[in-house]
Structure 1
Amino acid sequence: MHNLNVGRRAAFGVAGAAVLLLSLAACGEKESDQPGAGPSVTASADSNLAAKVPDAIKADGVIKVGTDSTYAPAEFLDADGKTVIGFDVELFNAVAQKLGLKAQYESAPFDAILPGVDSGKYEVGVSSFTVNAERLKSVNMVSYFSAGTQWATKKGNPAGVDVENACGKKIAVQVGTVQLDDITARSKKCTDAGKPAIKIDQYQAQSDATAAVVSGKDDAMLADSPVGAYAVKQSNDALQLLGDIYESAPYGYAVKKDQQAFADVLKEAVQAVIADGSYKAALQKWGVDGGAVTTAEVNPSV
């Protein structure tokens, strides 16, 4: 979950996803059985909502989106190495369509997206950003999904990782995420109690964090719950989830702090795709409908 300082969350990413999808294919797994297979979910434009989009946003017909495309199944690169896909992408495409616009994605490091929104480089950040008080100081956020944190380790937990006592273990996390804050706090508890610190390995891409656990370089990882579950499912039995999902919180689309009107119409567009069924269809297609919400909010209390 991307926190923020910046960030969110954690992911599985293109390199790891590609390797594990290939291994699944080698075992006879049909591509059509994979999450995300099938035609894209679409939503019809709403002229009333489109009229509310600020002129500066709709002038060129597109919404410029900053995203960290290493976070499957939320946002990651397709087999062509260029096209950004995932449930976050599919859902925001429907939101943009509801506003009569097209979403245009630009891949960026996770910790560069919110500064890019603030500077105007991106008109919106769509990257599994967990809504938290720190982020709300710099951007407006529109909630659209709910996720928690979950751990994953190698099948059989050969390192004997205990989520509640990981002192001395090697743990992988993505840079700038709420998981980094989480594991840092856990390590401090270890050292305060006179136990060995947790060795925290930070990775720019979630795919690299996942690969480090698969290879045995690290003992376990923390990631957003849909990301961890997807990584395990795609790992061809190399990984397993560890412990329960905890600290569930909303994901939010990020827009500039001075663009309240844009945030408001984004909220209405999310509510509209919830109402017309395209929201549910997008989440079900990717197998993440457990995180569905019924109401979108601007800057929800956290």
Structure 2
Amino acid sequence: MIGLRILFATLLSVFLVTPSAARGLSEIRETGKIVIATEAYFAPFAFFEGDKLTGFEVEIANAVASQMGLKTEWVNVGFDALLVGLQQDRWDWVVASMTHTPERLQAATWVAPHYCSGMVAVGKPEAVTEAGMKGKVAATLTGSVYVDRANQLGFFSSVTNFPQDTNARMAVMTGRADIWLTDSLVALQAVKANPDAGLAIGPVLVKDQVASAVKKGEIQLSEAISDALAQIVRNGTYAQISRRWFDADISCR
């Protein structure tokens, strides 16, 4: 059933949302709509409830767009295709729990960070300590910064990539991997939702400022989104959304 729901949600996003060309701020304002791409299998940030796309980042991006006087149109694609599609003018804005890397900084123009978090290891309690991680098999999301970080840490015997973060989590829960490397807030929700799995969360291994991106060179659009983000922080909208999802304000302060 899980596989069928994911297939349905993916097909729905493909057939109901037709990607548009990346546009500058003036053209976006003229049409009154901004096209946003995400990878929608990263709860609680972006995920499907039935056929409805929801999550913390979805609500924040919708609030930012509303502050700009815009409606939103969402596109669901694989994580490693998000910036490629932005370069190919398939959408205007990528909102998908991304952190800066040198390669990503070259590939897009970045918006001000919209939350702060970090990479953690999830697994059996004895496996998520520094000593316990040595020689273990790690699982994480293809195209994420966690792949390189896992290799740089040098703890693991191997690092297995999965097309969705949920696949990496399931690899640990089914014994195909020992450690799931993911965002600390994602980990917290997953462990709470699966109390019988016996999983524990290790300390933050690397701290992150998470940001969104627009096409390389679209400075006006980036600044307009950053300004709108700052406004929803000031007027309390951000904190209201954040506390509803996490019982805390996760903005970068």
Matches of 2:249 and 2:135, distance apart in 1? 34
How does the TM-score come out when normalised to structure 1? 0.72
Matches of 1:106 and 1:239, distance apart in 2? 35
Letter in 2 for 1:118: Q
8 Å CA contact 1:150–1:241 kept in 2: the answer is no
Which structure has more relative contact order (CA 8 Å, sep 6+)? It is: 1
Mapping 1:47-126, distance limit 5 Å: 54-78=25-49, 80=50, 82-126=51-95
Q: Which range is displaced more, 56-65 or 105-114?
A: 56-65
Runs of 4+ in 1 over 6 A off after TM superposition: none
8 Å CA contact 1:163–1:242 kept in 2: the answer is no
Matches of 2:128 and 2:238, distance apart in 1? 37
How does the TM-score come out when normalised to structure 2? 0.85
Say yes or no: does 1:275 pair with 2:242.
no
Matches of 1:117 and 1:164, distance apart in 2? 41
Indicate which of 135, 142, 146 corresponds to 2:116. Answer: 146
Aligned residues: 233
CA distance 1:118–1:289, shift in 2 (3 Å)? farther
Q: Which residue of the partner structure matches residue 251 of structure 1?
A: 210
Matches of 1:15 and 1:291, distance apart in 2? 30
CA distance 1:69–1:239, shift in 2 (3 Å)? farther
Letter in 1 for 2:215: K
Tell me by how many angstroms 1:241 deviates: 2.9
Q: Which residue of the partner structure matches residue 166 of structure 1?
A: 133
Unaligned runs of 5+ in 2: 6-23
Matches of 2:183 and 2:68, distance apart in 1? 29
8 Å CA contact 1:166–1:198 kept in 2: the answer is no
Identity %: 27
Matches of 2:200 and 2:46, distance apart in 1? 21
Matches of 2:85 and 2:72, distance apart in 1? 16
8 Å CA contact 2:188–2:201 kept in 1: the answer is no
8 Å CA contact 1:172–1:222 kept in 2: the answer is yes
Q: Which residue of the partner structure matches residue 222 of structure 1?
A: 181
Letter in 1 for 2:37: G
8 Å CA contact 1:76–1:84 kept in 2: the answer is yes
Indicate which of 111, 134, 142 corresponds to 2:103. Answer: 134
CA distance 1:272–1:290, shift in 2 (3 Å)? closer
* SS of residue paired to 1:128: strand
Unaligned runs of 5+ in 1: 1-13, 19-52, 191-196, 295-302
